[in-house]
Amino acid sequence: MGITGNNRQEAAETLALQVLTWLAGNDDVFPVFLDATGASATEVAKNAGQPEFLGSVLDFLLTNDVWVTEFCHSAVLPYDAPLQARAALPGGEVFNWT
């Protein structure tokens, strides 16, 4: 899945929702996500449609290479798909410090 074109943010949001579904179904990782965000499962469900929240879902996944690999393997996606999706959501812009 390439995150390109006119529907770039929409595709990124869809992928982030896939990640959220994967997280929620993972009994080992979901509690870590809840602890890291400070959100309850109810708050996660309430905010699942917000692009900024979905960006934080991808930020969390991207902190651990094993999680990225496991998610991408389960979703049959290239390993760089979550990073591409993150770049398409608010706050995911790459900064150039030079």
40-56 pLDDT tens trace: 999 999 999 999 999 99
Q: CA triplet 54, 48, 29: central angle to 5 degrees?
A: 70
Q: Domains in the chain: how many in total? A: 1
The residue range of the domain holding 30 is 8-87
The least confident of 13-17, 46-50, 51-55, 87-91 is: 87-91
Evaluate whether residue 23 is within a structural domain: yes
Evaluate whether residue 92 is within a structural domain: no
pTM, rounded to two decimals: 0.87
Evaluate whether residue 18 is within a structural domain: yes
Evaluate whether residue 13 is within a structural domain: yes
